[in-house]
Amino acid sequence: MTLSNVVHLPTAQEAEEAKITSRALSKYAHNERLHLKIASNNESEDLILPGYAINLLLAMLTEMSKGNAITVMPIHAELSTQETAELLNVSRPHLVDLLEQGKIPFRKVGTHRRILANDVFDYKQRIDEARFKALDDLAAQAQELGMGYE
């Protein structure tokens, strides 16, 4: 699976439909499950949508309403270095340095490095947590020094 197999930017009509649908669906975001009736071409079907899927669908619709393309990937997907760099918003050479330093696990397939999506998400969570801690520490230090940050 790749991140850029098919990139489809929503049309203006699709973005507007996504906006309307996301507003309606947002009322049910905290439900454990949602019973839906799907109707098309004189056929209908009753479905049950799990709570987690409601929130995923809501997030996708919200992004579509902004005109953004959406990618869904399984956690076990293997990514190339370019795909991983795009996910982390870093250059590919910087990513390769991170891999070689052992900060993100990878395996080699011939001469190509492959990275599990789950490992990328774990790394991103670790650096985000470190970033937030550093910001909290800076804010606390600024308050201690009376620098006017409240």
In the chain the domains, ranked by start, together with CATH numbers, are 12-65 (no CATH), 78-144 (1.10.1660.10)
- What is the reported pLDDT for 150? 58
In the chain, which stretches have pLDDT less than 70?
A: 1-6, 149-150
The beta strand positions in 58-133, using DSSP E, are: 78-79, 107-109, 112-116
- What is the reported pLDDT for 97? 97
- What is the reported pLDDT for 142? 87
Instruction: List b or e across 30-61, with b for residues whose CB sees 16 or more CB atoms inside 10 angstroms.
Output: eeeebeeeeeeeeeeeeeebeeeebbebbebb
pTM beyond 0.85, yes or no: no
- What is the reported pLDDT for 105? 97
